Chain A
């Protein structure tokens, strides 16, 4: 496999293998010197057209632990406003010699377009509302370890709550969770769901309270203030009263249930309770696992054939 653009590019087997590879990366990360020479001489370029310090840092750390060389390009303005096409930008940087681009773009599809203009591997670090595949993989890894489900998610019920319509995390998570066998329910007001769910392996609910006791994972998404400007929500307060995780709602979750969030959290909106006091919260584990998962992805795409013996 050359690129990682969307979870759809991966079979269930691929996902399992990546998660197993992540186990090794977790082990490497726990060593006194958490660094192996697996990707020595490989040049990994972070190309962030949209600012995201946490994702960029996570990839950067992952690449460095595998001994890859790293470069960072922050391209804040749109290509057009610079008088340069996206193609020009890519071809220019690729000419410096690049093995992989880690691409974050505010426009859906930009990473896929970029594959046409370079021979480097493209790793999608989040594109528009489309996909954020490494987020979904780290979410899977977090559930796999948090609920001890190494063989898959059969029988798990996962609710994804919030602004599904504008969420690349939701689009990736739905595909990944369903591929591993989970039952996925989307919970949101109709205005925050995509216009069509044709072909999505999900159920839909507008009633979080009715679902709570049945859930194994409650996955909260960030809800943004600008949704009110588009008349998609009356107020964040109303959203919070219907869908926010309060202490009362947290108390109705099953004792083993996990609470997850891709960050950054909107405290007081979707996250009303103090996440530090929620026994099921694995939100910081998600961040920690992010580095190991991204090591696995980089090694999978740039290493020779996915055999980690080379990495040790």
Chain B
């Protein structure tokens, strides 16, 4: 049998850091040591070898918006970003509210073979916020994370009921925190910038009220919950306090919420329109602090491809969202004042637990473990060039930005789907 060896890297996982080679056969790690030989060898000198990354939050657009992204192009972007598993958000057309749709999404992922696609399920049918989606049927089809992402569940009775019903199923409900009545027509953060630009604001309180409500619903029901893309300082503070009380809450933050502020909207470029919106310097500092002290468990990209023509319209007509998969690692290394081990934790084994795939992703690098690995050079400088991204869309907010940290190889089930920073399939 073919033997793949990753040579000369520094192994970094939840057990710590050490030098070593990794030998892989039949999709599993068969040997960890020095000077290992293989039929194929990947150079990892100067690189970190870590468990594969897991993104809790990507929009792959298929089915429904294949002009923006397909599962194949999206998972190629994911693999190039070092991700071996991604949770596919349910706001496709049709939405992820039936077994046939989630089966289709998973199968398309398997067909592409670049990254494991974990379909999320809707909390409500059609994400319309009125009727519960069939949690048990979807869970039986392998769905672990449920969300109406793009919409917050507005009705508190329905959200309470969703949590109670979900409890015994062992699934995770994930909330897009936005009280819609407070964000009517909103295109950017409510503050000095939107006031000057004459744009309708998306106030921080619209997120915070739902975080507050849902913390209390978790307290009431005892059922765990995950908060998607937290963006405000006060949200971080509330989650920190709730966790200190022992409430079963996890949270994620997106790189754009710790790298960009609402000032980016000054030129009215819809590439910077995202939901929740880019906030202030103080919010960025709070998100970074939340990641550093573990209040925020995971870095999740909210990768949201949009076809170029849909962003070449005024801000209020443009859809919200930005690309993230291929820049997440570099932005985390470049912008977060955290040890590399902590950054990798937030990209790999911590989200793996939330996604319910800790049996095969985010595993320690040890003999017998599934070979889902990411090899990256934490020092390599590169410039973000939209046309060079693998995503089918071009809406990165980082065009021209110099960043540090580049994925060299990505190993999915023992296969190098990315070798020397290029996709192999």
A residues apposed to B, CB below 8 Å = 78-80, 85-88, 105, 107-110, 112-113, 117, 127-131, 168, 171, 194-200, 230
Q: Is the CB of B195 within 8 A of A108?
A: no
Cβ-defined contact, A88 with B314, below 8 A: no
Given known pairs A109-B314, A112-B267, A195-B191, the reply for A87 and B197 (CB within 8 Å) is no
Q: A80-B310, A168-B198, A195-B201 are in contact. Are A107 and B316 (CB under 8 A)?
A: yes
A to B CB contacts below 8 Å, 26 in the list = A79-B314, A80-B310, A80-B317, A85-B309, A85-B313, A87-B313, A107-B317, A108-B199, A108-B268, A108-B314, A108-B316, A113-B269, A113-B314, A117-B312, A127-B198, A129-B199, A130-B198, A131-B198, A168-B198, A171-B196, A195-B191, A195-B195, A195-B201, A196-B195, A198-B191, A198-B192
B70 shortest CB reach to chain A, Å: 21
**Residues of A close to B269: CB separation below 8 A:** 113
Most buried by A among B190, B197, B201, B316: B197
> Is the C-beta of B194 less than 8 angstroms from some C-beta in chain A?
yes
Residues of chain B with a CB closer than 8 A to A127's CB: 198
3 shortest interchain CB distances as A-B pairs: A109-B268, A107-B314, A130-B198
A residues less than 8 Å from B191 (CB atoms): 195-196, 198
Q: Which residues of A contact B267 (CB under 8 A)?
A: 112
Are B190 and A85 in contact, with the CB atoms below 8 A?
no
Complex Cα distance, B309 from A199, in Å, reads 34
Specify which chain B residues have a CB less than 8 angstroms from the CB of A109 in the assembled complex. 197, 199, 268, 314-315
Contact (Cβ within 8 A) A199 B199: no
Please measure, in the bound complex, the distance between the C-alpha atom of A192 and the C-alpha atom of B284, giving whole angstroms.
29
B197 touches A108 (CB 8 A): yes
CA separation between A130 and B196, bound complex, in Å?
A: 7
B203 at the A interface (CB under 8 A): yes
Main secondary structure of the interface of A (DSSP, over half): loop
Instruction: Give the docked Cα–Cα distance between A303 and B393 (Å).
Output: 41
Chain B, Cβ-Cβ closest to A171: B198
* Across-interface contacts of A200 in B (CB, < 8 A): 195-196
Q: Which residues of A contact B197 (CB under 8 A)?
A: 108-109, 130
- Distance between Cα atoms of A60 and B316 in the complex (Å): 28
Which B residues between 76 and 113 are near A, CB-CB below 8 angstroms? none
Q: Cβ of A130: which chain B residues have Cβ within 8 Å of it?
A: 197-199
Q: Which residue of B lies closest to A90 (CB)?
A: B312
Interface residues of B in 284-312 (CB under 8 A from A): 309-310, 312
Q: Using Cβ atoms and an 8 Å threshold, which residues of chain B touch A197? A: 195
A75: min CB distance to chain B, Å: 12
Question: Inside 8 A of B200's CB, which chain A residues have their CB?
Answer: 129
**Shortest beta-carbon distance from B386 to chain A in Å:** 15
Contacts of A194 in B (CB 8 A): 195-196
Point out the residues of chain A lying under 8 angstroms from B190, CB to CB.
Answer: 195-196
B192 touches A86 (CB 8 A): no
- Within the assembled complex, what's the spacing in Å between the Cα atoms of A79 and B311? 11
With a cutoff of 8 Å between Cβ atoms, the chain A residues found around residue B312 in the complex are: 85-88, 113, 117
Residues of B close to A79: CB separation below 8 A: 313-314, 317
Q: Output the least CB separation between B289 and chain A (Å).
A: 24
**Cα(A198)–Cα(B195), bound, Å:** 9
Task: Give the docked Cα–Cα distance between A107 and B316 (Å).
Answer: 7
In the bound complex, residues from chain B placing their C-beta under 8 Å from that of A107 are 314-317
How long is the Cα–Cα vector from A141 to B199 in the complex, in angstroms? 28
What is the CB-to-nearest-CB distance from B128 to chain A, in angstroms, rounded to a whole number?
Answer: 22
Instruction: From known contacts A85-B310, A85-B312, A113-B268, infer whether A196 and B192 are also in contact, taking CB-CB under 8 Å.
Output: yes
Bound CA–CA A130/B313 (angstroms): 16
Return chain B residues, CB-CB under 8 Å to A80. 310, 313, 317
A162: min CB distance to chain B, Å: 15
The total of interchain contacts (Cβ-Cβ below 8 angstroms) comes to 84
How many angstroms between the C-alpha atoms of A196 and B195 in the bound complex? 6
Chain A: minimal CB distance from B189 (Å):
10
Per the bound structure, the CA–CA distance linking A95 and B191 in Å amounts to 39
Max chain B C-beta neighbours (<10 A), residue from A113, A127, A168, A230 = A113
A195 touches which of B184, B203, B268, B313 (Cβ 8 Å):
B203
**Complex Cα gap A230–B186 (Å):** 13
Tell me the bound Cα distance from A33 to B258 in angstroms.
Answer: 62
Given A109-B315, A196-B194, 12 other A-B residues pairs in contact with their CB atoms under 8 A: A79-B317, A107-B315, A107-B316, A108-B315, A109-B268, A113-B268, A113-B312, A127-B198, A128-B314, A130-B197, A194-B195, A195-B191
A112 touches B196 (CB 8 A): no
Question: In the complex, A196 Cα to B189 Cα: how many Å?
Answer: 11
A110 to B200 CA separation, bound complex (whole angstroms) = 14
Chain B residue contacts of A171, Cβ below 8 A? 196, 198
Complex interface: chain A residues within 8 A of B314 (CB): 79, 86, 105, 107-110, 113, 128
User: Smallest distance from the beta carbon of B86 to chain A beta carbons, Å?
Assistant: 28
Q: Are A87 and B268 in contact (CB under 8 A)?
A: no
| Chain A, Cβ-Cβ closest to B189 | A195
Q: Within 8 Å CB of A87, what residues of B?
A: 309, 312-313
* A58 CA / B170 CA spacing, docked (Å): 67
Knowing A108-B315, A128-B198, A195-B194, the reply to whether A88 touches B309 (Cβ < 8 A) is: yes
The reply to whether A86 and B199 contact each other, CB–CB distance below 8 Å, is no
Closest Cβ of chain B to A287, distance in Å, is 24
* B194-228 CB contacts (< 8 Å) to partner A: 194-201, 203
The reply to whether B192 and A78 contact each other, CB–CB distance below 8 Å, is no
A188 CB, nearest partner CB in chain B, Å: 13
Which residues on B sit within 8 Å (CB–CB) of A113? Answer: 268-269, 312, 314
Separation of A105 and B194 alpha carbons in the complex (Å): 17
Q: Are A108 and B198 in contact (CB under 8 A)?
A: yes
Q: A308: shortest Cβ distance to chain B, in Å?
A: 33
User: Which chain A positions have C-beta within 8 A of B316?
Assistant: 107-108, 128
Residue of B nearest to A5 (CB): B268
Q: From residue A134, how far is it (CB to closest CB) to chain B in Å? A: 16
Chain B residue with Cβ nearest A111: B268
CB closest chain-B residue, reference A230: B184
B184: which A residues are within 8 A, CB to CB? 230
Q: Which residues of B contact A78 (CB under 8 A)?
A: 313, 317
Inter-subunit contact B198/A129 (CB<8 Å): yes
- Complex: A140 Cα to B384 Cα, angstroms: 46
Residue of B nearest to A172 (CB): B198
| Residues of A contacting B203 in the complex (Cβ-Cβ under 8 angstroms) | 195
**B196 contact set on A, CB distance < 8 A:** 171, 194, 199-200
In the complex the two chains form, what is the Cα distance from A199 to B191 in whole Å? Answer: 11
Give Cα A112 to B269, complex, Å: 9
- Quick one: closest A residue to B316, CB to CB? A107
